Amino acid sequence: MISTLGAFVTKEIRHILRDRQTLTILLLMPLVQVVLFGYALRSDVRDVRLAIVDPSPDYATLELRNRFQAARRFKIVATERSISRIEPLFRKSKIDLVVSLDPDFAAHIEAGEPARVFIAVDASDPNTGSTMQAYARAVIAEYEQDLGAKGASAVRIAPEVRMRFNPTLESVNLFIPGLIALVLTLVSALMTAISLSREKERGTLEILLVSPLRPWQIIVGKVLPYLALAFANALTALLAAWLIFDVPFRGSVTLLLVECIIYSMVSLAIGVLVATLTATQRVAMLVALLATMLPSTLLSGMVFPLASMPRILQVLSNVVPAKWFIVVARGIMLKGVGLEHLWKETLVLTGMTMAFMIIAVRSFKARVA
Amino acid sequence: MTAPAAQPAELAIVAHDLTRRFGNFTAVDHITFDVKAGEVFGFLGANGAGKTTAIKMLTGLLAPSEGDARVAGLDLKTETEQIRQRIGYMSQRFSLYEDLTVLENIALYGGIYGLTDKQIADRSAAMLSTLGLTDEMVAKLPLGWKQKLSFSVALLHEPAIVFLDEPTGGVDPITRRQFWEMIYAAAARGTTVFVTTHYMDEAEYCDRISIMVDGRIATMGTPLELKEQWNVPSIDELFVRLARPT
Amino acid sequence: MTDPAVVVSDVTKRFGETLALDGISFEAHHGELFGLVGPDGAGKTTLFRILTTLQVPDSGAVTVLGLDVVKDLWAIRSRVGYMPGRFSLYGDLTVRENLSFFASVFGTTIEKGYSLIAPVYRQIEMFADRRADALSGGMKQKLALSCALVHRPDILFLDEPTTGVDAVSRREFWDQLGLLRESGLTIVVSTPYMDEAMRCDRVALMQEGRILQIDSPKEIGTRYPLPLVEVFGRDRYRLLLMLRKAPHAHSVYPFGTKLHFTDDRKNYDPAKVAAELRDYLAREGFQEVEINPIEAGIEDRFMDLMPPARRAS
C-alpha cells in the first residue's frame, strides 16, 4: 500500500515537473506577487504638500520650518498663523499634511517643558498617510536630537498625530500575511482542483477507480506534492517579505511555518472538494477561484478591515479559513506572540482541515455515477 | 442565384502537384488527380496520411505550398472566394449549431450563401419532408439524423461539388446506408461528391477512389479495377497492404 | 472456475429521460472472446461501466467472476483489466512510466506481468522512453492494452478499443486478442465494426439499450429468416431504386459494389428468387446483371433485427 501511494506521488510529481509553464508560474508567482503588491501598495511619497501653522515665529520654529523646507520630500504650500485657515485647504485636498507649532515654541523648550507639535495627515490613502506622518516626525525628531546634542536639557518635542479621513492604518507590513494566505490558497486549492479534474477529463480516473486504489489514497496521492509545493511557496514569500520589505518577524518562524502548512491543507481539502463536485477543468478552476480567492481577499481582513464591515459579513468571515490564518500570521510576525495566544485560531484551522478533508473524501465517489 | 450545373464532359476538380508543408513536415506531397463532374470520388487514407489537409486546400481553407488546382472550373489560388459559392462542405467536426432548431440552421446557412427568403422557405419545407423531420432543437436529434441533415444543408445552395470529410461515423448500418443513398441521389442530379472516409467498405460505394499514404497518392482507380490490379478481395485488404510498413 | 465469468440479468439504467439500458441479459463464459456489437447510443459504454463497477444498475443483477458488482466492488476491481474508450493514458509520462505506474497501482511490477504482456509490449518496447502523447494511435492502443494486462487480470473489459485507429493497427490488435484468448483469458470487448465482430466466439447485437440477438457469428448468419441474394450490375443507384419496386422485395441495401436483396417469402428457394429477379430486371431494361444467392452476414442480420421504423422505405 505504501509503495502504491509512493508510485502515485511519483506520478504526480512527474506531472508537475513536466508541465513547465504551470511550474514556472507556481514558483515565480509568490515572488512576483509579493514584490508587485509590496511596491504597488507602498506608493512613492514625494512632494508632500505641507502647510505650516506658526502662530508665534521664533528661532526654534524658524529652524524647524527651514528643515522642512530643505527636506526634499516636502513642499511647503502654505504658511499661516492660525489653523482655522488650514481646514478648508484640507477639505479641498490642496494639502496633504499640516504641522502646527505651539505658540511660544522656543520658550517652552528653554523652560524644559514639552513643546507641542500638532500634525494632521490626510490619511485617506492609508499607506501614504502613515508614511507622510512618519516623515514629518522624522524631521522633528532629528531637530529634537540636534537640540539635545547642543546641550539643552530634556528637550522634548511632543508630536501629536491625527490621521484624518481614515480611522485605521494599514501598511505594507499588514498586507504580507494576507499575501501569503493568497499565495498558499492559489497553489493549494486551485492547482489541486485542476489536477484532479484533469484526471477526470482525461479518462484516466476511470482506470484508477477500477483498481485496488481507494478514494483516500487517490486524494492523498494528489495532495502531497502540492503540499510540498505550497510549503516551498510559503518559504519564498516569507523570505521575500523579510529581505525586500523588511517585514518584521517578531515571533517563532517555526510556528509560522507550521501554521502555513495547516492552512495549506485546508485549501487543499477545499480544492479536492471542488474537483469532486465539478465536471470539467474549466468549471473546477472557476469554482475554486470563487470559493477560495474571493473570500480570502475580501472577507479575511486582508485588504478591508473586518471591523468596519457590517455585522453579517463579520459573521460570515468566520467561515473563511484565510481570516484565521491572517490573525495567526499577523500575531506571529508583527506582535511576536506564540501558541499560547493563538491556540484558538490554530484549533479552528485544524478543525477546518479535518472537516473539509472528510467531506472531500466522502464526496469523492468510488463510482462514476 | 445558384451555380451553373457542371457539364458532363467537364472535370469538377483538377489537382496538379498539390503540396502542403508545415515547417519541416510535408503533409501533402505533390498529389495529382482529377474528379469528373457528377462522380462520387472517395479519398481514402489512414489518419495522418494527409486527407484532411488535402480537403482543406481544395475547399480554400488552407493555401497550398506548391502546385495548383481548379475546383468547379475556377482557379484555387486566385478565385478562392468564388469557389466557396460553388461548393458545399460537411464534416463530423464542423456541423450544425446544436442550440438552434432545424429551421434556424437552414435559415442561417441559406443566409450565408445568399439565398432569398422564398428559396429558403421552399427548400426548408422540401428538406423537412424528404428527411421526415419536424422542426426541433438539433441537439435533440439522434446522430444519424444530424448527419443526414448536415448533408442536406451542405447541398442547400445547390453547389456543383460537395466535400464530405468523414461524414459517417458511429451510426448503425442502416442509417449509414441511407446516408449513402442520399449521396447517390445527389450524384444522380449531377452534383460531384468528394468524400473522405476511413471505412474501407464505404470505399466500394464510390465510382473511383484514391488511397493516400504518407502524403502521397499510392493508387487510384475504380474499386473493381484496383481489386483486380492488386489482386485483393477487398479495398480493406488493399489498404492494409499499402499502409503496412515494409 | 466453472461459473459463467459474467452474468447480466435484466439490467436497466436510466440517465434522466434517456433509457440507456432496457432489460439487458446475457452470460459470458470463461476463456471466451465475447463481443458487444452496435452503433453509438446502443448502451455499450454504460454496460461496461456497470460491469467494471463504476456505475450501479437501476434494476437487475450483475455478477463478474461470481462476485456481485454492487456489493463486492473492491474484490472485483483488483481482478479486472479495463480499457475505457479513448484509451486514457498519461500523455506527459513515457511509455515505461505509464506501464510501471499502472503496475504499481495493482501492487505489482512490469517484470511480474511481462510474460503476459510481452506479445503486445514488445512492439512498443523500443519507444519505452517516449512520451505517450508522442505515439501514434496504434501504439497508444497497444500501450493501453499492456497497461490493462500488466497485473494479470482474470477478465478483460475493452470498450471500443479500436476507435480512431487505422485499419492495420485494428487488425493487429484483434490478432493480439486472439492470442490472449488462447491463453485462457476471458475478454469482453465492444465494437461498432461488424467485421471485427466476426472474430469473436460469440456476439451480442445491441441497439438502443437492447440486445437483439446473441450467438456465434456463424450462427447469426444462418438464422437469417428470409432468402437473400446478391445483385451486381452497372448504374448501381438506378438498380437499387428499381429493385425496391420489385415484387416481394423485403429490403434492398447497398453492400460495397453489390446490392443485397431480401425476398419476403419465407423458405422460398433463393435460386428461384435470383431467376425471377433476372427476368424482372431484364424487362425493366437492365441487362448484364449478376445475381447469386448468398449466406447472410452479421450486418445483414443486424439490419434485419433492427426495429421496423428504421428500415429504409
Residues A193 and A336 both lie in one domain? yes
The pLDDT score that the predictor gives to residue A285 is 84
- The reply to whether C176 falls in a domain is yes
- Chain C residues whose CB is inside 8 A of the B239 CB are 167-168
Residues 6+ apart with CB under 8 A from B89: B59, B154, B162, B163, B164, B165
C18/A contact by beta carbon, under 8 A:
no
Question: Of A19, A200, A210, A365, which to mutate for an interface test with C (greatest number of C Cβ within 10 Å)?
Answer: A210
Task: Look up residue C126 and give its DSSP letter.
Answer: G
- The reply to whether B64 falls in a domain is no
Residues C274 and C144 both lie in one domain? no
Residues C46 and C133 both lie in one domain? yes
How many Å apart are CA B6 and CA B36, to the nearest integer?
10
- The reply to whether C310 falls in a domain is no
- The reply to whether B135 falls in a domain is yes
Residues A175 and A229 both lie in one domain? yes
Query: Per residue in A278-302, pLDDT tens?
Result: 878 888 888 888 888 878 887 787 7
Residues A219 and A355 both lie in one domain? yes
The pLDDT score that the predictor gives to residue B160 is 93
State the nearest Cα–Cα gap between C39 and chain B, in angstroms. Answer: 5
How many Å apart are CA A102 and CA A139, to the nearest integer?
16
Minimum-distance CB partner of C97 among A14, A206, A367: A14
Which other chains touch chain C, taking contact as 3+ CB pairs less than 8 Å apart?
A, B
Residue A125 has pLDDT above 70, yes or no: no
- The reply to whether B8 falls in a domain is no
Residues A160 and A285 both lie in one domain? no
Residue A92 has pLDDT above 80, yes or no: no
State the nearest Cα–Cα gap between C255 and chain B, in angstroms. Answer: 8
How many Å apart are CA A361 and CA B85, to the nearest integer?
58
- The reply to whether B104 falls in a domain is yes
The pLDDT score that the predictor gives to residue A148 is 76
- Taking 50 as the pLDDT cut, the residues of chain C under it are 310-313
The pLDDT score that the predictor gives to residue C312 is 36
The pLDDT score that the predictor gives to residue C308 is 59
Query: Per residue in B188-225, pLDDT tens?
Result: 999 999 999 877 888 899 999 999 888 899 999 999 99
Residues C230 and C204 both lie in one domain? no
Instruction: Report the chain C residue with the minimal C-alpha distance to residue B198.
Output: C166
How many Å apart are CA B166 and CA B218, to the nearest integer?
20
Write the CA distances from C95 to A98, C132, C262, integer angstroms. 73, 6, 50
Residues A121 and A210 both lie in one domain? no
How many Å apart are CA A71 and CA A142, to the nearest integer?
12
Residues A229 and A338 both lie in one domain? yes
- The reply to whether C308 falls in a domain is no
Tell me which of A136, A164, A192 is where a domain ends: A164
Task: Look up residue A335 and give its DSSP letter.
Answer: I
Domain extent, residue A134, equals: 48-164
Contact C102 A207 (CB under 8 A): yes
Can you give the pTM of this predicted structure?
0.75
CATH number of residue C57's parent domain: 3.40.50.300
Q: From the CB of residue B1, how many other CB atoms can be counted at a distance below 10 Å? A: 10
Q: From the CB of residue A112, how many other CB atoms can be counted at a distance below 10 Å? A: 11
* Grid cell digits, residue A364: 469523492
How many Å apart are CA A230 and CA A262, to the nearest integer?
11
The pLDDT score that the predictor gives to residue B13 is 94
Residues A146 and A198 both lie in one domain? no
- The reply to whether C67 falls in a domain is yes
Mean pLDDT for A236-251 is 77
- The reply to whether A5 falls in a domain is no
The candidate with the shortest Cα–Cα distance to A37, out of A200, A225, A179, is A179
The b/e string for B185-207 (b: 16+ C-beta within 10 A; e otherwise) is ebbeeebbbbbbbbbbbbbbbbb
Count of domains in chain B? Answer: 1
More confident residue, B45 or A26: B45
Minimum-distance CB partner of C40 among B48, B171, B240: B171
How many Å apart are CA A200 and CA A184, to the nearest integer?
24
- The reply to whether C283 falls in a domain is yes
Domain extent, residue C247, equals: 225-294
List phi, psi (to 5°) of B81. Answer: -60, -45
Q: How many alpha carbons fall within 13 Å on the CB side of residue A313?
A: 13
Minimum-distance CB partner of B236 among C39, C167, C255: C167
Residues C53 and C99 both lie in one domain? yes
Average pLDDT, rounded, for chain B? 86
Query: Per residue in A306-325, pLDDT tens?
Result: 766 677 777 888 888 988 99
Tell me which of C221, C256, C280 is where a domain ends: C221
Residues A325 and A245 both lie in one domain? yes
The pLDDT score that the predictor gives to residue C310 is 45
The candidate with the shortest Cα–Cα distance to C147, out of C103, C91, C92, C97, is C103
How many Å apart are CA C281 and CA A147, to the nearest integer?
126
The pLDDT score that the predictor gives to residue B31 is 94
Residues A315 and A252 both lie in one domain? yes
Query: Residue C279 is which amino acid?
Result: D
The pLDDT score that the predictor gives to residue A26 is 75
Residues A248 and A356 both lie in one domain? yes
* Grid cell digits, residue C58: 437501476
How many Å apart are CA A268 and CA A321, to the nearest integer?
12
Minimum-distance CB partner of B174 among C136, C164, C311: C311
H helix intervals, chain C: 44-51, 73-77, 95-105, 110-121, 137-149, 167-182, 194-197, 217-222, 236-244, 270-283, 298-305
The pLDDT score that the predictor gives to residue A166 is 39
The pLDDT score that the predictor gives to residue B185 is 93
- Chain A residues whose CB is inside 8 A of the C163 CB are none
How many Å apart are CA B112 and CA B110, to the nearest integer?
5
Count of domains in chain A? Answer: 2
Domain extent, residue B160, equals: 38-49+82-243
Beta bridge partners of C293: C229
Q: Give the number of beta-carbon pairs within 8 Å between B and C.
A: 78
CATH number of residue B101's parent domain: 3.40.50.300
The pLDDT score that the predictor gives to residue C244 is 92
- The reply to whether C299 falls in a domain is no
Count of domains in chain C? Answer: 2
Beta bridge partners of A75: A49
CATH number of residue C283's parent domain: 3.30.70
Residues A176 and A296 both lie in one domain? yes
The pLDDT score that the predictor gives to residue A93 is 66
Query: Residue A70 is which amino acid?
Result: A
H helix intervals, chain A: 2-18, 20-41, 59-70, 86-91, 105-110, 126-149, 172-185, 191-202, 204-209, 215-245, 253-277, 281-288, 294-298, 311-317, 321-330, 339-363
Handedness of CA C173, C175, C180, C186 (dihedral sign): positive
- The reply to whether A368 falls in a domain is no
State the nearest Cα–Cα gap between A290 and chain C, in angstroms. Answer: 29
Q: Is B77 left (phi over 0), alpha (psi -120 to 50) or beta?
A: alpha
Minimum-distance CB partner of B200 among C167, C192, C311: C167
A18/C contact by beta carbon, under 8 A:
yes
Residue B48 has pLDDT above 80, yes or no: no
Question: Of C19, C310, C311, which to mutate for an interface test with B (greatest number of B Cβ within 10 Å)?
Answer: C310
Question: Of A9, A20, A211, which to mutate for an interface test with C (greatest number of C Cβ within 10 Å)?
Answer: A211
Residues C252 and C217 both lie in one domain? no
Query: Per residue in B66-75, pLDDT tens?
Result: 999 999 889 9
Residues C86 and C113 both lie in one domain? yes
CATH number of residue A141's parent domain: 3.40.1710.10
C56/A contact by beta carbon, under 8 A:
yes
- The reply to whether B211 falls in a domain is yes
Mean pLDDT for A14-31 is 76
- The reply to whether C1 falls in a domain is no
Q: Are B3 and B73 in contact (CB under 8 A)?
A: no
Q: If pLDDT is split at 50, 70 and 90, which confidence band does A45 have?
A: low
Radius of gyration of chain C (CA): 23
Mean pLDDT for A111-118 is 84
Residue A150 has pLDDT above 70, yes or no: no
Q: Chains A/B: 3 or more C-beta pairs closer than 8 A? A: no
Query: Per residue in B53-64, pLDDT tens?
Result: 899 899 888 889
Query: Per residue in A163-208, pLDDT tens?
Result: 654 344 445 566 777 888 888 888 888 888 888 888 888 778 888 8
Average pLDDT, rounded, for chain A? 80
The pLDDT score that the predictor gives to residue C49 is 93
Radius of gyration of chain B (CA): 18
Residues 6+ apart with CB under 8 A from B141: B102, B133, B149
- The reply to whether B234 falls in a domain is yes
